[in-house]
Chain A
């Protein structure tokens, strides 16, 4: 029977090659969210009244257009990651947006309505400084790009270069500002730090130097942010050390020194240590800037000033004020100022820029999220109302990268959580049971107290369940009478409960900005978010689930370890993953840098798993560290091991815990750092189950798998990147004993190496430098035809080394990430989830990566369902689990088992988020979506009635025959 079952299963597996979705299933089990990241430049399209375009360029090298009514993306262009795709500048003129990309490498013009490319020019080399529109007589025809040593002028219409000029004395002078007042000249401002400012004037037609001048400014260090051009060509600088402002007319011939205006004379004072910032506005690129400007004197203090004939007069003092921004509509320019209202809200007001008068009825109340960060950037979209007054909307970006779009009097039109564009790590946590289910569960958890009491308790809990069921029925009945549109199926924290098959889970996501999210996996709704302040930009995060929801009435508990790379110090954040509330449990003070953490399968009396933290002296701190835990640790100490991998020193070391929570070094493996570098180490996932302990051969004997739970896969890359000498090394090391179980070197191979370690196999991908292609390689370990010890596994008692089989394949695409599916019991066959740079996620059956694939098919291999070896692995489009929903820049794929053995939940994160389900062996435990319930039930009913009727007829007939 066993054999027939196995055969049946294998034939099921053979059926599972197709995995595509049907058209009506699109979006049923999956969702995608697209993000842009932290906004660097944002420009509102103010050309027409009805325009709803918002153009953003972000730190993630993305140029996108957002619908300002809904917050949805109209279009998005994802450029290369890193400095190559970095967006240096965004300028908007009419329908065209000009973008300088990659430190001045490329100048592009985009059509903003549909996001099409108008033209693109490659610029000369040199680091980018600035870019500006050059206007002549109210017409903007050119754009000037300033590099470190050259200035070039391009036509706006086609991008062709009008002229390019080398800058005089560019090795000593730092040119930083290019300016045009619309009067037919191009002014270039440069600085020699602590010495003087250089002003060069170019002819717009041929690039000839018209005038060159230098002005002494011994206090100056940089032009950017401390100097602006205001009014009709007046250079204005602010300086902290001399506590004064300087003006200099760029047009004047006779002026040789800057006019100094002491801030004291204006009655102003700069906050100590704060570099004053000047903000000016140029409403039209072909006209000179306004003579009004804003001076920021402190982090919360701005002042609106006016320059009038070299005299500066204050118009309005905004104290306190967080953010100030200018906006222009028609002929009117306004200043929007965000100032604190109370502890939970800010108010934004509009002031006329030329008078400093507050405009009536222009207050927007902005309510701060108590779990969010401070507002960091303010973008204003002003428009003229019908009665010629100025109306406006604002977009606020917070420190936690929330974009909120507000309109009067404070309605939030939309918000975008852009922190999710950079998810670092995530976990999926089961949702809690409903109250009634929990009641039933709780019954089993309690201690038995007498037969009668138990019976009564059971009866009462059953009664509660019945009551809940009736309530549910009543609700169904009640809702059924309402029109469909009114019945809201919104997910809120209150209505969260586990579904029948545990397919809906809570996704706990940790983002690089230090914001935590709790997202419902079914709909993608953000149920809670929490911003952790003071998280350094290059911190390392490790998220652990200490207590799952299975231990009612104890709440589930997640612990986030954040390590600051600079100081090495770590902190622990304990929170409830379902509600996002910070836990009040006391965390141990970590005074020493933490090297690693280790989640033990031991539990304290409150069912929280014990977390061990190893500091730089190899001492261990336990959390929670109750007496019970310490006692358990003492008992178990001799069987608790941990390993540390120091990539910089190329050292792998294994430690054993002592009873006094100190450790002893028991093994060490040194990989010479001169030749190779450890790039990754992976053990097996703690929640992985392997159902079958071996593989059935064609002759029906068993080849047992080498399932060492302590096995580590270590991948190294050579330091020599020459294509003839580079190699990739893979070591399989037992983490307890330090024994090298297997090592393999892939010559003429180069990283980046992606690898998966699961069950008894390791799959890794590398770049073959000789054949110039991506290759998959699979290592599989077997114990042999006999099990050494079938009851317990101890790394300390393994006399025989495993048999290792290896095979390699060609993969026709580069990959960006690799992960394996995971199911509840491990019966379902495994698939590899491959994230491709094209944005597709490929579900590749592990069957194709099997080192036992024979070169020539034999009777036995056919019996075993082994596919004959072919070097290429195909990419079939029906294997793309995200069909046409491309996921940009996939950084990681997270897999989690569901309550159904056939189903694995998948979350791909990177720039976008994508959640779906995969069925590696098809849905063998669920009726299909298109299952014909009506037909089956009507057939059943029909048969039932037919039997009834025929029974009756038979009775009558028998009776009649009896009468005959």
Chain B
């Protein structure tokens, strides 16, 4: 909340034996804090040479670059690594239609889709890597595989309208061309 080194604003009363509950000073001086509770912090004097902003470390070392590369590959391979886990869950949940398998399938389908939607953000993450495009491709493939797996699961659960029976409800009754009636002779 408080920004000790920030530009000044209205400042409350200074410390002293007598403390007002609050005070307003309209002049724009070197005032900083807003509440009297912040006074103590506001009163802290920074040492010489202290800077608010961190100084960037400009000396990039080779080991760090490897680390970044590794980190980026981790990100890229994440979806692929999940596939065995997903397969296991798929196997465990079975093909019956009940609330838990449906939730599993939804999760499985939603996660790759979500990942694909936030592709640009992931690319930003991978920006620093040299193999950015390759990693991006791997990430994409991983996610696509994940969603394919979800679709396969849907298929094996019978949730995909791939059979003629799934469209049965939409078949209109045929229109009759002849009018017929009659019965036993009265």
Q: Which residue of B lies closest to A640 (CB)?
A: B179
Which of A594, A642, A692 is within 8 Å of B169, CB to CB? A692
Give the Cβ gap from B142 to chain A, nearest Cβ, in Å. Answer: 28
Interface pair A1/B159, CB less than 8 Å apart: yes
The answer for the CA separation of A600 and B176 in the assembled complex, in Å, is 13
Which of B1, B176, B184 is within 8 Å of A681, CB to CB? B184
A483 at the interface (CB under 8 A from B): no
Interface pair B159/A596, CB less than 8 Å apart: no
Which of B163, B173, B174 is within 8 Å of A3, CB to CB? B163
Interface pair A791/B178, CB less than 8 Å apart: no
Interface size class of A (residues with CB under 8 A): 35 or more
B27 at the interface (CB under 8 A from A): no
The answer for the CA separation of A931 and B28 in the assembled complex, in Å, is 68
Q: Which residue of A lies closest to B37 (CB)?
A: A964
Which of A596, A696, A789, A790 is within 8 Å of B186, CB to CB? A596
| 13 A-B contacts (beta carbon < 8 Å) | A1-B166, A2-B161, A4-B97, A596-B186, A597-B186, A641-B179, A645-B182, A692-B168, A710-B176, A735-B182, A790-B171, A795-B178, A796-B178
Interface pair A793/B174, CB less than 8 Å apart: yes
What residues of B have a CB within 8 angstroms of the CB of A643 in the complex?
Answer: 180-183
Interface pair A791/B182, CB less than 8 Å apart: no
Interface pair A2/B97, CB less than 8 Å apart: no
Task: Give the 4 A-B residue pairs with the shortest CB-CB distance, closest first.
Answer: A2-B166, A598-B181, A643-B182, A642-B182
Stretch touching chain B among A356-364, A699-707, A901-909, A950-958: A699-707
A697 at the interface (CB under 8 A from B): yes
- 9 more contacts with CB within 8 A, not counting A646-B184, A791-B175, A796-B177, are A3-B158, A3-B163, A643-B182, A643-B183, A645-B182, A645-B184, A791-B174, A793-B174, A795-B180
What residues of B have a CB within 8 angstroms of the CB of A561 in the complex?
Answer: 186
Give the Cβ gap from B158 to chain A, nearest Cβ, in Å. Answer: 5
Which of A542, A563, A641 is within 8 Å of B178, CB to CB? A641
Interface pair B165/A3, CB less than 8 Å apart: yes
B167 at the interface (CB under 8 A from A): yes
What residues of A have a CB within 8 angstroms of the CB of B24 in the complex?
Answer: none
B59 at the interface (CB under 8 A from A): no
Interface pair B180/A707, CB less than 8 Å apart: no
Q: Mark B147-165, 1 if CB is under 8 A from A, else 0.
A: 0000000000011010111
What residues of B have a CB within 8 angstroms of the CB of A3 in the complex?
Answer: 158-159, 161, 163, 165-166
Give the Cβ gap from A794 to chain B, nearest Cβ, in Å. Answer: 4
The answer for the CA separation of A644 and B180 in the assembled complex, in Å, is 11
Which of B159, B166, B173 is within 8 Å of A689, CB to CB? B173
A273 at the interface (CB under 8 A from B): no
Q: Which residue of B lies closest to A711 (CB)?
A: B180
B45 at the interface (CB under 8 A from A): no
The answer for the CA separation of A709 and B179 in the assembled complex, in Å, is 9
Binding site for B on A (CB under 8 A): 1-7, 540, 542, 561, 563, 570, 594-602, 614, 636, 639-647, 678, 680-681, 683, 689-694, 696-697, 700-702, 707, 709-710, 735-736, 787, 789-796, 962-964
What residues of A have a CB within 8 angstroms of the CB of B26 in the complex?
Answer: none
Interface pair A594/B159, CB less than 8 Å apart: no
What residues of B have a CB within 8 angstroms of the CB of A540 in the complex?
Answer: 186
Interface pair B175/A793, CB less than 8 Å apart: yes
Interface pair B186/A594, CB less than 8 Å apart: yes
Give the Cβ gap from A669 to chain B, nearest Cβ, in Å. Answer: 13
What residues of A have a CB within 8 angstroms of the CB of B171 in the complex?
Answer: 693-694, 787, 790
B117 at the interface (CB under 8 A from A): no
What residues of A have a CB within 8 angstroms of the CB of B185 in the complex?
Answer: 595-596, 644-647
Give the Cβ gap from B95 to chain A, nearest Cβ, in Å. Answer: 12
What residues of B have a CB within 8 angstroms of the CB of A702 in the complex?
Answer: 163-165, 168
CB interface residues, B 88-118, toward A, < 8 Å = 97
What residues of B have a CB within 8 angstroms of the CB of A602 in the complex?
Answer: 179
Interface pair B176/A701, CB less than 8 Å apart: no
What residues of A have a CB within 8 angstroms of the CB of B167 in the complex?
Answer: 2
Give the Cβ gap from B1 to chain A, nearest Cβ, in Å. Answer: 8
Give the Cβ gap from A450 to chain B, nearest Cβ, in Å. Answer: 36
Given contacts A700-B163, A701-B163, contact A599 B176 (CB under 8 A): no
Q: Which residue of B lies closest to A964 (CB)?
A: B37
Give the Cβ gap from A240 to chain B, nearest Cβ, in Å. Answer: 39
The answer for the CA separation of A1 and B163 in the assembled complex, in Å, is 11
CB interface residues, B 1-19, toward A, < 8 Å = 1
Q: Which residue of A lies closest to B184 (CB)?
A: A645
Which of B158, B163, B179 is within 8 Å of A601, CB to CB? B179
The answer for the CA separation of A796 and B179 in the assembled complex, in Å, is 12
The answer for the CA separation of A694 and B1 in the assembled complex, in Å, is 69
Interface pair B168/A2, CB less than 8 Å apart: yes
Given contacts A693-B168, A790-B171, contact A1 B161 (CB under 8 A): yes
Q: Which residue of B lies closest to A3 (CB)?
A: B158
Interface pair A647/B184, CB less than 8 Å apart: yes
What residues of B have a CB within 8 angstroms of the CB of A964 in the complex?
Answer: 37
The answer for the CA separation of A939 and B24 in the assembled complex, in Å, is 50
What residues of B have a CB within 8 angstroms of the CB of A710 in the complex?
Answer: 176, 178, 180
Give the Cβ gap from B83 to chain A, nearest Cβ, in Å. Answer: 26
Which of A596, A691, A792 is within 8 Å of B175, CB to CB? A792
What residues of A have a CB within 8 angstroms of the CB of B177 in the complex?
Answer: 639, 792-794, 796
The answer for the CA separation of A957 and B176 in the assembled complex, in Å, is 71
What residues of B have a CB within 8 angstroms of the CB of A963 in the complex?
Answer: 35
The answer for the CA separation of A601 and B164 in the assembled complex, in Å, is 33
Interface pair A596/B182, CB less than 8 Å apart: yes
Given contacts A2-B168, A792-B174, contact A642 B181 (CB under 8 A): yes
The answer for the CA separation of A207 and B37 in the assembled complex, in Å, is 132
What residues of B have a CB within 8 angstroms of the CB of A689 in the complex?
Answer: 173
What residues of B have a CB within 8 angstroms of the CB of A598 in the complex?
Answer: 181-182
The answer for the CA separation of A644 and B181 in the assembled complex, in Å, is 9
Interface pair A7/B97, CB less than 8 Å apart: yes
The answer for the CA separation of A795 and B176 in the assembled complex, in Å, is 9
The answer for the CA separation of A598 and B164 in the assembled complex, in Å, is 38
Interface pair B176/A709, CB less than 8 Å apart: yes
Interface pair B179/A694, CB less than 8 Å apart: no
What residues of B have a CB within 8 angstroms of the CB of A2 in the complex?
Answer: 161, 165-169
Q: Which residue of B lies closest to A570 (CB)?
A: B186
What residues of B have a CB within 8 angstroms of the CB of A789 in the complex?
Answer: 174
Give the Cβ gap from A62 to chain B, nearest Cβ, in Å. Answer: 30
Give the Cβ gap from B145 to chain A, nearest Cβ, in Å. Answer: 24
What residues of B have a CB within 8 angstroms of the CB of A787 in the complex?
Answer: 171
What residues of A have a CB within 8 angstroms of the CB of B164 in the complex?
Answer: 700-702
Interface pair A790/B180, CB less than 8 Å apart: no
What residues of A have a CB within 8 angstroms of the CB of B179 in the complex?
Answer: 600-602, 636, 639-641
Give the Cβ gap from B43 to chain A, nearest Cβ, in Å. Answer: 18
- Which of A570, A597, A690 is most buried by chain B, counting CB atoms within 10 A of its CB? A597
